[in-house]
Chains A and B, each alone.
Chain A
Amino acid sequence: MANKPRVAIFDFTGCEGCELNKLNFENELLDILAHVDIVEWREAMDDRVDEYDIAFVEGSLSTPDCIERIHEVRRKCKVLVSLGSCATLGGINAMKNIQPIEEVREEGYGEDKYLFPTLPALPLSAVVKVDYEVRGCPMTQIEFLKLFTALVRGQEPVKPDYAVCVECKLKENECVYEKGMICLGPVTVAGCDAHCPSFGQYCTGCRGLVTDANIAGMEEILVKHGLSVDEARKRLQLYNVNQLEGVQR
């Protein structure tokens, strides 16, 4: 590529863990930087620019200001990539979406709540066109690298649409259920190389649900393994409340 793509990085409502995760690319960071010019990144620099090729956006949209800003980002970029569960699904923030918004505001800000307008936490795709997604909480590094490499080569990235179980079994991990825990791997989109189960943890579903996921079946599995119906639903809602409860994506 003659001119390096100009990249801008933005954060909305989230913990900023995805951004830090980018800085964690110890071995690959220099390779990444060699391929692009980073022109705007609040976390690391002061510059503001009017145009860029690729915008990486972290965080969900949960205030009127977010909505305004994401439209601006969309206008200025050619390719918009959502990074992490908040930007892609609404994330944990979206748990508030199934509670009365005024109660949430009061709980969060107390007496000062009138200073902080709030909206249901939405994924970017609910408001603007998103070209590509990097899922995960924090965003999955290997998926980011694959997407990044594809984009600098001018290609479409591969999007897996099968369960984490497939990747977990490829590594011959002992099943998390076998350890007496419950796991959302069976309905969660792969692409993380079964990161959590490989370290003895259960899958929280942070990468979102596979297409046409059998939610009733998954709830039944959770109940079979000792959760109440209510707990089972809540486990699934942790990252996927917007998708499960029909909030617009």
Chain B
Amino acid sequence: MTRFLLTEDKVITFIEHLQKQKNVFAPHKRGTNSFAFEQVSDPASVMLDYTRTLHSVKKYFMPPREQLLSFSLTDNSFAEPTVDPVDAIFLGVHSYDLQAVFKLDHNFSEGNPEKNYLKRREGALFVGVTFAPDQWHFSGSVGINPNDADGFDVFLFAVENGYAVEAFTPAGESLLSGFEMSEFNSDIPAAADFNQHIYVPQGKLSEVFDNAWDNEVWEETSKECVGCGTCNMVCPTCYCFNVEDGVDVTATVGQRERHWDACMTRDFSEVAGGEVFREELAARQRHRVYRKFKYISDKTGQPWCVGCGRCTASCSAKISIVNIVNKLVQDHEQATVAPV
């Protein structure tokens, strides 16, 4: 496929070109040190060089809060909300975040396919961009590299003074058509190395987790963890939710709303009557990590973690999932080495 050179000074006109075709969502600065995907109104405020966004693009397909239905208490009837495809261009997506979308696609299509998610997902186009691993990224350990264009419609490979642009799908080609760029014929420079790694591949991890249930790491970690649920809330592959009814103060109408939920919180597994099935923080931490590397992974053959590093970067105690997994790997290897 042909690659084109998008020089730094042409990025804004390139975004304007995309805006003529569909709504564009891209990373923007949020707060002091953070980034977030927002709809582009001013192309100059788009940040293509960013570490990671607070939330992944998951928030567009599974909104943090979402109305499942609205109801009337006067006649006990309900109405469906309208769910429209997001049908937009997602610009500046990192490879791990697109892989996370594909994992959610799996979760919402298998078994009982969910209309809300799948409907919103229609028409989304992804324009990727190279990322520079910071101290928390470890996606290389789960097979996702900064220049992985897998699944993208268009990818912007970081090169000197700009980006080498390549379309990978017909939809991607049409995004580029009509935008003047010269061809780029050099090699793409190798992406920067990761600063942290999980030592073993998923194939081996399944075995590690077979022997990790009683590892002391769960208890140790639970001393630092306060169970705030942040790691769940920022995870691009977490999709658990709770559903609650809200009633207007007139007590005549209301809505049934779902919102993201966190298995790290105590009341997540609480049933009516007060029994809590994962009462200990250690058990909750274990459940979270098993969900990322064992439970779904055994069924799909893939890790359900994309190595974005959000859970650690956002944790006020800086509990590292990489350190947890590596400790399990280490203990597993020591236990399985034949005695001399």
Closest to B234 in A: A169
Interface assignment of B22: CB less than 8 Å from any CB of chain A:
no
Interface assignment of A105: CB less than 8 Å from any CB of chain B:
no
Interface assignment of B55: CB less than 8 Å from any CB of chain A:
yes
Q: CB-defined interface of A133-166 with B at 8 Å, one 1/0 digit per residue? A: 0000000000001101110110000101111011
Which residues on the A side are within 8 Å of B59 (C-beta)? Answer: 172
By the criterion CB–CB under 8 Å, are B36 and A172 in contact?
A: yes
Across the interface, A162 reaches (CB within 8 A) one of B64, B229, B279, namely B229
Residues of A123-138 at the interface with B, using a CB-CB cut-off of 8 Å, are none
Which residues on the B side are within 8 Å of A169 (C-beta)? Answer: 54-55, 64, 229-230, 233-234, 260
Q: Secondary structure of the A side of the interface?
A: helix
Task: Count chain B residues whose beta carbon lies closer than 8 angstroms to a beta carbon of A.
Answer: 44
By the criterion CB–CB under 8 Å, are A170 and B64 in contact?
A: yes
Given known A-B contacts A149-B251, A169-B234, A216-B223, A163 and B229 have beta carbons under 8 A apart: yes
Residues of B24-54 at the interface with A, using a CB-CB cut-off of 8 Å, are 30-34, 36, 54
Give the complex CA separation of A172 and B36 in angstroms.
Answer: 8
By the criterion CB–CB under 8 Å, are A178 and B33 in contact?
A: yes
Interface assignment of A35: CB less than 8 Å from any CB of chain B:
yes
Across the interface, B32 reaches (CB within 8 A) one of A161, A180, A187, namely A180
Given known A-B contacts A32-B249, A216-B223, A225-B316, A171 and B229 have beta carbons under 8 A apart: no
Across the interface, A170 reaches (CB within 8 A) one of B32, B65, B228, namely B65
Interface assignment of B227: CB less than 8 Å from any CB of chain A:
yes
Which residues on the A side are within 8 Å of B260 (C-beta)? Answer: 166, 169-170
The interface centre, meaning the residue of B223, B249, B266 with most chain A CB atoms within 10 A of its CB, is B249
Across the interface, A158 reaches (CB within 8 A) one of B32, B233, B244, B261, namely B244
Which residues on the A side are within 8 Å of B54 (C-beta)? Answer: 169, 172-174
By the criterion CB–CB under 8 Å, are A177 and B226 in contact?
A: no
Task: Count chain A residues whose beta carbon lies closer than 8 angstroms to a beta carbon of B.
Answer: 45
Residues of A197-220 at the interface with B, using a CB-CB cut-off of 8 Å, are 210-214, 216-218, 220
Interface assignment of A28: CB less than 8 Å from any CB of chain B:
yes
Which residues on the A side are within 8 Å of B246 (C-beta)? Answer: 146
Interface assignment of A59: CB less than 8 Å from any CB of chain B:
no
Interface assignment of A14: CB less than 8 Å from any CB of chain B:
no
By the criterion CB–CB under 8 Å, are A149 and B32 in contact?
A: no
Interface assignment of A120: CB less than 8 Å from any CB of chain B:
no
Give the complex CA separation of A172 and B236 in angstroms.
Answer: 13
Interface assignment of A48: CB less than 8 Å from any CB of chain B:
no
Q: CB-defined interface of B227-268 with A at 8 Å, one 1/0 digit per residue? A: 111100110000000001011111100000001111001111
Residues of B56-112 at the interface with A, using a CB-CB cut-off of 8 Å, are 59, 64-65
Across the interface, A175 reaches (CB within 8 A) one of B262, B314, B317, namely B314
Which residues on the B side are within 8 Å of A186 (C-beta)? Answer: 226, 228, 230, 316
By the criterion CB–CB under 8 Å, are B233 and A166 in contact?
A: yes
Q: How far is the CB of B87 from chain A (nearest CB, A)?
A: 21
Give the complex CA separation of A166 and B233 in angstroms.
Answer: 7
Interface assignment of A26: CB less than 8 Å from any CB of chain B:
no
Which residues on the B side are within 8 Å of A148 (C-beta)? Answer: 249
Give the complex CA separation of A228 and B292 in angstroms.
Answer: 36
Interface assignment of A42: CB less than 8 Å from any CB of chain B:
no
By the criterion CB–CB under 8 Å, are B230 and A149 in contact?
A: no
By the criterion CB–CB under 8 Å, are A163 and B227 in contact?
A: yes
Given known A-B contacts A149-B249, A175-B316, A210 and B64 have beta carbons under 8 A apart: no
Interface assignment of B164: CB less than 8 Å from any CB of chain A:
no
Which residues on the B side are within 8 Å of A90 (C-beta)? Answer: none
Give the complex CA separation of A220 and B262 in angstroms.
Answer: 22
With A169-B229, A221-B316, A225-B316 known, 13 other A-B pairs at CB within 8 A are A32-B249, A146-B246, A163-B226, A163-B265, A169-B230, A178-B31, A179-B32, A186-B230, A211-B267, A214-B223, A214-B227, A217-B317, A224-B318
29 A-B pairs (CB sep. < 8 Å): A31-B249, A32-B249, A145-B249, A148-B249, A149-B248, A153-B251, A161-B270, A162-B265, A162-B267, A163-B226, A163-B229, A165-B233, A166-B228, A166-B230, A166-B233, A169-B54, A169-B55, A169-B64, A169-B260, A170-B233, A174-B30, A174-B54, A180-B32, A186-B228, A187-B228, A217-B225, A217-B226, A220-B317, A224-B317
